[in-house]
Structure 1
């Protein structure tokens, strides 16, 4: 990762000042990395709770899950390429849905709210798109995505469905990925990448827990196989875990 892709940001006011430079970097490089909004140690302190939730919760299957179930706290598998959110993207991962109007079972409510504020600051929205300001049936799909050790992955794609979900409420699309785990500490190979002009770039090289990867509507991105040299581990141990806040319809 080029040093110019990393932005040390102190707070939302500083983020507003750097928004133009961050967005220009995303357009040129496929992504940017924001460091400083979230504390590494505090983010890593959530990991035991996440692993406990996985161990104690029955996972829903990849298909046949209703929209109402997704609006509630749940653990769901996503295996194959027939996702209800965006068909054709092959993946192997688990998702913990934790919408902001549901019980705060992971203790991440404030983290998700901050992630929404960062997202909407970068999108230069006058009003943050918190759930109370989204027209029904839209809501913020605040969630964790868990790419298990032993081959968790997602093929390259652009967020076409998520882009469509905000067209009627905002002219801008920004996607943030908050890194709960980190490459080199929790897993050794694979992780997020972007493709720019046929070149694949590792967007997590030198990244830390608490860093935010920033994409836009043109970013072709995916997740390379996580520690595929190991047996598949569905416990969440050794997984790549990220937090997202995407407007769902």
Structure 2
């Protein structure tokens, strides 16, 4: 488990992106493979966003795990992925619902500021202009801002490294790609927590670090996509229900290639 010293070493607290020490952040990421940033997104933003998500949610909107057009996920779009996915390019066991909510689509969950803050950090540490590919498709890339929901009763994603981003690294010659993740759920035994068992983790020095356990909602965790990470089965001792949003949520702002362009 990470000690307080470890956390202090990777911890940044700013209320404005202009106050972030970019060089120190890159140095921390190079040395530790991940960093923790607070102050840019409030806990209330996330709570309101999750409330809007619950109010808008319907299982009737669940689309299949595969087969969507490139254009469809550049709009508000919901899909449920279950199983190993042998027909996909990468066979990765998962049970996760994805709510695509691009920044240039209608802001139906009120998460635009949260997604924008995380995407700008991604751009800064990767060496792009701060606003690159956020508000529109730019140079063949766009920001796939979205919420991942791992349902109670076994929601999970197998341990892996992200190997779908080398196109960014290859095209722009950057040393590494760093993925920001917005903490949107609290793990713990209190009744106020979202779930008790499993959840998101990194593998640091051979041990799983379950970051939801000690980070507040609204925290941005940014990590090198080369490190092992995953989501252990969320509350597997609870009956799985497809028709509610109990369990674990997180926000992502991955840079996607625009395959809709001819």
Q: Does TM-score exceed 0.5, indicating one fold? A: yes
| Alignment partners' CA distance in 2, 1:214 and 1:102 | 24
| Alignment partners' CA distance in 2, 1:220 and 1:57 | 34
TM-superposition CA deviations, 1:199-248 (whole Å, max 9, x none): 22222231111011111132211111111110112234322111111111
Bigger mean CA offset, 20-29 vs 179-188: 20-29
- 1:14 matches 2:19: yes
Q: 1:213 to 1:29 in 2, by over 3 A?
A: same
- 1:80 matches 2:83: yes
Q: 1:53 to 1:80 in 2, by over 3 A?
A: same
Q: 1:157 to 1:238 in 2, by over 3 A?
A: same
Give the corresponding residue for 1:243.
Answer: 251
Is the 8 Å Cα contact of residues 185 and 249 (structure 2) preserved in structure 1? yes
Q: How many residues align?
A: 246
Is the 8 Å Cα contact of residues 197 and 233 (structure 2) preserved in structure 1? yes
Q: 1:225 to 1:10 in 2, by over 3 A?
A: same
Give the corresponding residue for 1:143.
Answer: 146
Give the corresponding residue for 1:176.
Answer: 180
Is the 8 Å Cα contact of residues 86 and 161 (structure 1) preserved in structure 2? no
Q: Can you give the 5+ residue segments of structure 1 that lack an aligned partner in the other structure?
A: none
Is the 8 Å Cα contact of residues 122 and 179 (structure 2) preserved in structure 1? yes
Is the 8 Å Cα contact of residues 158 and 232 (structure 2) preserved in structure 1? yes
| Alignment partners' CA distance in 2, 1:143 and 1:235 | 19
Is the 8 Å Cα contact of residues 192 and 224 (structure 1) preserved in structure 2? yes
TM-superposition CA deviations, 1:82-110 (whole Å, max 9, x none): 28886122110000011222222222223
Give the corresponding residue for 1:191.
Answer: 199
| Alignment partners' CA distance in 1, 2:142 and 2:169 | 11
TM-superposition CA deviations, 1:144-170 (whole Å, max 9, x none): 110111111111111110232453246
Give the corresponding residue for 1:107.
Answer: 110
C-alpha RMSD of the superposition: 2.3
Runs ≥4 in structure 1, deviation > 6 angstroms? none
Is the 8 Å Cα contact of residues 104 and 136 (structure 2) preserved in structure 1? no
Q: 1:192 to 1:30 in 2, by over 3 A?
A: farther
| Alignment partners' CA distance in 2, 1:156 and 1:76 | 21
Shift of 1:122: 2.6
Shift of 1:140: 1.1
Of the candidates 128, 132, 153, which is equivalent to residue 131 of structure 2? Answer: 128
Query: TM-score under structure 2 normalisation?
Result: 0.84
Is the 8 Å Cα contact of residues 234 and 248 (structure 2) preserved in structure 1? yes
Q: Describe the SS at the equivalent of 2:194.
A: coil
Shift of 1:132: 3.7
Is the 8 Å Cα contact of residues 187 and 240 (structure 1) preserved in structure 2? yes
Bigger mean CA offset, 235-244 vs 213-222: 235-244
Shift of 1:128: 2.7
Q: Describe the SS at the equivalent of 2:213.
A: coil
| Alignment partners' CA distance in 2, 1:63 and 1:248 | 16
